[in-house]
Amino acid sequence: MKFSEEQVKEIVALRENMLEQVDKHQEGIEMLEKNITILDGFLKDSSFVKASKLKIQDEPEIAKNIEAEKPLDNSIPIKKGSDGKVIANAYVTPDQVSIILDEQIIINADTPPFKSFFLDRIIGEMKKKDFLEAENGKIQKESIIDYIINKNGTNIREIIIKNYRQKERVTELINTAGWSLTRMLENISK
């Protein structure tokens, strides 16, 4: 079977594009594996309870009662990178991840990199992927990831992430929330 010169150019371009995609995804996989290794070490050192071993409980009726309804033994501590102080606790249910800040931690929602990194880049990218899956009929629109920020005035008290759908996302959400909160505290103290 003979191909025209134009067809050969198209095939070469397609091959190059596919190789670029493989490289891009390989880098992403390597970064995820590195993050998982870091998280595993961090969680091991912080007497972590695996999400799979947490008691599954019903979604609370109103957000203000969440803290009272969830016992501490079901929490995943989120620690500040520099001194290991617990700055928040994460609670995982089949429908949502709730990140409740420690009462001593006062962080304004406008402090960087909360919006630019955590909300826009991390959750925003997950939301884009979910929208595409919804458009392709793979998931329902009601299953698209979303979040609620509960505040006391302008200060963050709780971050609720609904419809995370994938276990892998829980690790990424908790890891990046911890990183973001740590950076926000550093930005406040400057």
Q: What does the pLDDT look like over 118-144, one tens digit per residue?
A: 999 999 999 999 999 999 999 999 999
d(Cα 15, Cα 75) in Å, to the nearest integer?
Answer: 48
Instruction: Name the percent of the chain in helix, strand, coil, to the closest 5.
Output: 55, 15, 30
Is pTM, for the whole model, over 0.85? no
| CA quadruple 117, 123, 126, 130: dihedral sign | negative
| Average model confidence (pLDDT) across the chain | 81
Predicted pLDDT of residue 72: 43
Query: What value does the mean pLDDT take over residues 25-30?
Result: 79
Residues 6+ apart with CB under 8 A from 92: 51, 54, 76, 170
Would you state the pLDDT for residue 52?
Answer: 52
What are the residue ranges spanned by the domains of the chain?
1-45, 53-189
Written as six digits, the tokens of 33 are 């594996």
- List phi, psi (to 5°) of 85: -70, 135
pLDDT, residue 29, reads 81
The pLDDT value recorded for residue 91 is 94
Across 104-118, average pLDDT: 91
Give the tens place of pLDDT for each residue, 81-91. Answer: 778 889 999 99
More confident residue, 28 or 152: 152
Q: Kindly report, residue by residue over 36-75, the tens digit of the pLDDT.
A: 777 666 666 554 455 555 544 444 433 434 443 344 447 8
